Chain A
Amino acid sequence: MPPLAALPRFVGLLAVWVVIGGADLKGLAVGAATAAIATWFSLRLLPAGVLQLRPLPLLGLLLRYPLQALRAGTEVACRAFDLRLSPGFVPYAPVTAPSVQRDAFLTWSSLQPGTLPAGEDEVSGAVAIHALDVTQPVAASMAAEEARFARIFRG
């Protein structure tokens, strides 16, 4: 296994240990060993180099997220009160080819305002996006979000 490519994961998992368990010295030794095992498991599930993240765009995306969550939650809350709905599916063909990046984008988009991916169409390959209001520009906002999301990956 390429040790350098696995380093960010190891550091991240060690950070999880410190966050949940504190940073006392004896615990940290166990934490480092645990993070090493967890990194090995992680590499088995998702080989190194498949997901190469760029830190700054990632940070930008994450910082924008609370606002998006607020918009998404408020929209659903409003519709729960006045029941102004026209639910339905909007087909959306992602630009990204089927890959971990695409799976990650779809999971991400399910947390964005108004959109919920509901599986691919067997024939066309487009993803059926469920929306509470199909009169909104659903496909356009998906495309904008996908462009934003694509920037967090290298290459």
Chain B
Amino acid sequence: MSATLLIDLALAFSVLAAALWTVAARRAFEAVVGFVAFGLVLSLAWVRLGTVDVALTEAAVGAGASGVLLLGATARLGAQTLAEVRDQPAMALRIATGFFCALLAVALGWTLLNLGDPAPSLAPLAAANLAATELGNPVSGVLLAWRALDTLLEAVVLVLAVIGVWSVAPDGAWGGIPGDIQPPRRDPALRLAAQIIPPIGVVIGVHLVWTGAEAPGGAFQGGTVLAAMWVLAWMAGLVRPPAVSSRRLRVWVILGPIVFIAIGLLGSFLADGFLAYPAAFTKPLILLVEAALTFSIAVALVLLLVGPPKAAP
């Protein structure tokens, strides 16, 4: 048995163990900790599957941002589970459910082991079209050129999620500052870290976007890092977001999708169609879209993590 196989097995067992813990833990807090661990080990599995782009996204979004969100929610929920004892399914029902879920897993596993050969692949096509985008990273090429519509819709989904989160605000709080007001001097250690780390994180986040054209990275990974840095400063009480009624804030959130759509429409007139790039300007336009997207993704993620407004303006 080779060393890489051993590593893969160890990784798979760690992911499965963290997932089991997440489902079986007694308290919500323990389950959330299990879930964060799940995301981190899973991101290593992505590296082993040869896709560092996904690994970065998983670590930043799946473990990092989700962890902040879920831990915050657990703390605020406290002992409230929002479930009654009578909501728990009976043992017999649980066993039956478990049986059918296991059956589904076995069927899926069997299918995955018996996929036809040779495997269908769009890799040669992606490689052939990559040259036109002048990018070195095929995943960025797919995200911003070939499947640009998916990426545009994804950016729009983030905007919709922000609208959704804001809309659960209590009536009286509409138009106020989003999120809890953080105590200005909660913890000296946190405050010090929030004074030193964010500028370094900004450099790392922008670099992830910049390098995404050639190497693993991109708008989503970099944008998440930028958002995390701002949220860190916010948690330490050093910065606060503008009110949700602020026009400036709203423009920031939609800037990315707007620029994307505008350049897409440009393609309708100057190139082959909507979201196609004029050949001579492909790379600069992609970089422009990516920069605007990064900014709006970062703002949207911050607003999603911070939550709806809590108090009147």
Contacts and interface: CB of A to CB of B under 8 A. Distances in A.
A–B proximity contact (CB within 8 A): yes
Contacts of B210: 21, 27, 30, 34
Contacts, number: 65
Contacts of A27: 210
B242 interface: no
Q: Which of B193, B195, B198, B238 has the most CB of A within 10 A?
A: B195
Interface string A29-56: 0110011011101101110000000000
Chain A contact surface mostly = helix
A45 B238 contact: yes
B123 interface: no
Nearest to B287: A30
B203 A100 contact: no
A35 B202 CA distance: 8
Nearest to A10: B199
A46 B191 CA distance: 10
Given A38-B202, A41-B199, A41-B202, A17 B207 contact: yes
Chain B contact surface mostly = helix
Contact of B203 (A35, A45, A46, A102): A35
Nearest to B214: A27
Nearest to B210: A30
A21 B211 CA distance: 8
Contacts of A41: 198-199, 202
Interface in B194-222: 194-196, 198-200, 202-204, 206-207, 210-211
Contact of A38 (B189, B194, B199): B199
B127 interface: no
Given A45-B195, A103-B189, A21 B207 contact: yes
Interface string A87-102: 0000000000010101
A45 B202 contact: no
Contacts of A34: 202-203, 206-207, 210
A106 B188 CA distance: 9
Interface in B142-197: 188-189, 191-196
A148 to B, nearest CB: 18
Nearest to A27: B210
B300 interface: no
B23 interface: no
A140 interface: no
B194 A45 contact: yes
Nearest to A40: B199
B223 to A, nearest CB: 14
B61 to A, nearest CB: 20
Interface of B: 188-189, 191-196, 198-200, 202-204, 206-207, 210-211, 233, 238-239
8 contacts: A13-B200, A16-B203, A21-B207, A34-B202, A38-B202, A41-B199, A42-B199, A44-B239
Given A13-B200, A31-B203, A100-B195, 7 more contacts: A16-B200, A31-B207, A35-B203, A45-B198, A103-B192, A106-B189, A110-B189
